[in-house]
Chains A and B, each alone.
Chain A
């Protein structure tokens, strides 16, 4: 087995093992913390498709995270206040059902990614970063100034949404649900990187001219990658909102987008488990350092600096070797 495979397996198992330990020690807060790491990992796994494989540095992925969050918030808010979401020629009720919420989150963030991608993928480099940032900020300010759904204060949801057959208020059961989704997405992303689409997308990152010369359009490849990427991050947003039972415009903030990039860089750009390692480390540091100092992010910054300077492949790269082995 390759060292990266072993490392990935260990990282993968670390989450349920830690959650089981927390359960045995009767520390539900720790389970919630691990769930938080898993959701952040999922959001960054989504971004990693665009950023790592496609080379598209999006500083606006908080837009999709927030759309997923508000999809949950809006549907659940209407369900708990017994008001319809839309009440005109068509009547649309709110819902507390997670599968329905996830579907809405995925579809709406995918549509947003399609629109944002279609416009911003016409640029590249710094311009792409700036345009995605601008779109993210547009959503942020829109959410702040939308009084129907709490504006700046956000929306509180009193009870976690339902999943058939599970008690989602039980931290362990909710963690299991999140972990199952993360597993499925990781499995698919691993396949995707080796599939024809992954090879073409990765080649388009390395040399767009090459891809055109064999008859494939880099723009379309990138757009599809961006849409899948946004949809995954959107799903993570819905789960994040459910974890906190709260949505607010901060989910749309550019700091959020920045954190996703930090997870990926910490863990290893383009590595399947890079975002997982990064998100786990970030949440761990947050947990250990925030009681020590209000300025705990300074330490995260220092670690990030060290990783960027001395471990270019991120955590996974420095532990498993530089060799990028796609396919």
Chain B
């Protein structure tokens, strides 16, 4: 078996008496989409934050691309090749759409420490940024101020910025949120192709998308993973049906 791209082992995080992450172990294999589902308040966002580096776990370890990253902060993990999108769009709102994408390309090139040449005239960075915008269909909005984008377009821009990093794995927190039916469908087919470039750890509430995309699904309830398996395994798991999919279905 191949080495996992991302390996989380025995992660613990408590906020006071609340055990938000309770011994979570999971892997993300090359080429797969691993969906993380769970009811509201299950600790999905807390787990994602620890994986991305924004929150230090109380215990447990995280390996990424064969090296331990538990002690590294968000920027170092991003440089190691972890591409992340946020549940609530996190962009430079006063900058243009293209500038946001260029920022990603800059991060990849590690070239923030230049003080003279205009960055928007750096053909290589702008080209990478344009290519990423094209892939998510935002080319027409390149010169738009990010604050003027619709909610759905901001989600697409988040993905585009992550693409400019050419990451080795994606961690996506609800990329479908706010996209609407047709947008959601487009994003689903886009992510379907994206997994060949880099595996995706996907937190998503849109169950149609999850069951259509995920090679494996993990169900998080009260900070614990109660089941991991294929879509069919998860549908059939009685524990999952009780805890998450709705008790009436289990009857």
Which residues of A are at the interface with B, using a C-beta cutoff of 8 A? 188, 191-192, 194-200, 202-203, 206-207, 209-217, 221, 224, 324, 326-327
Contacts and interface: CB of A to CB of B under 8 A. Distances in A.
B74 A212 contact: yes
A105 to B, nearest CB: 20
A142 to B, nearest CB: 32
Contact of A215 (B78, B93, B95, B119): B78
Given A210-B90, A324-B94, A195 B107 contact: no
B92 A202 contact: yes
A229 B165 CA distance: 30
A191 B116 contact: yes
A196 B165 CA distance: 16
A191 B118 CA distance: 7
Given A195-B119, A206-B95, A212 B112 contact: no
Interface string B60-100: 00000000000001111011000010100011111110011
Given A203-B92, A207-B90, A194 B84 contact: no
Nearest to A217: B75
Contacts, number: 116
Interface residues of B, number: 42
A199 B95 contact: yes
A195 B114 contact: yes
Nearest to A218: B75
Contacts of A196: 106, 111-114, 117, 119, 122
B47 to A, nearest CB: 17
A224 B99 CA distance: 21
Given A195-B119, A196-B119, A207-B92, A213 B114 contact: no
Nearest 9 CB-CB pairings of A with B? A214-B107, A215-B78, A212-B74, A215-B79, A203-B92, A215-B107, A194-B118, A200-B112, A206-B92
A196 B112 CA distance: 5
B7 interface: no
Contact of A214 (B93, B103, B115): B103
Given A191-B115, A196-B113, A212-B74, 8 more contacts: A188-B115, A196-B111, A196-B122, A202-B94, A209-B74, A215-B108, A216-B106, A327-B119
A199 B75 contact: no
A213 B74 contact: yes
27 contacts: A191-B116, A194-B118, A195-B119, A196-B122, A197-B112, A197-B113, A199-B95, A199-B103, A199-B119, A202-B94, A203-B100, A206-B92, A209-B74, A209-B90, A211-B103, A211-B107, A213-B74, A214-B78, A214-B106, A214-B107, A215-B110, A216-B75, A221-B112, A326-B99, A327-B96, A327-B119, A327-B120
B10 interface: no
B97 to A, nearest CB: 13
Contacts of B120: 194, 327
A196 B122 CA distance: 9
Contacts of B8: none
Contact of B102 (A199, A206, A211): A199
A198 B120 CA distance: 11
Contacts of A198: 119
A188 B91 CA distance: 27
Nearest to A326: B95
B104 interface: yes
A206 B115 contact: no
B183 interface: no
A198 B183 CA distance: 34
B52 interface: yes
Nearest to A191: B116
Nearest to A192: B115
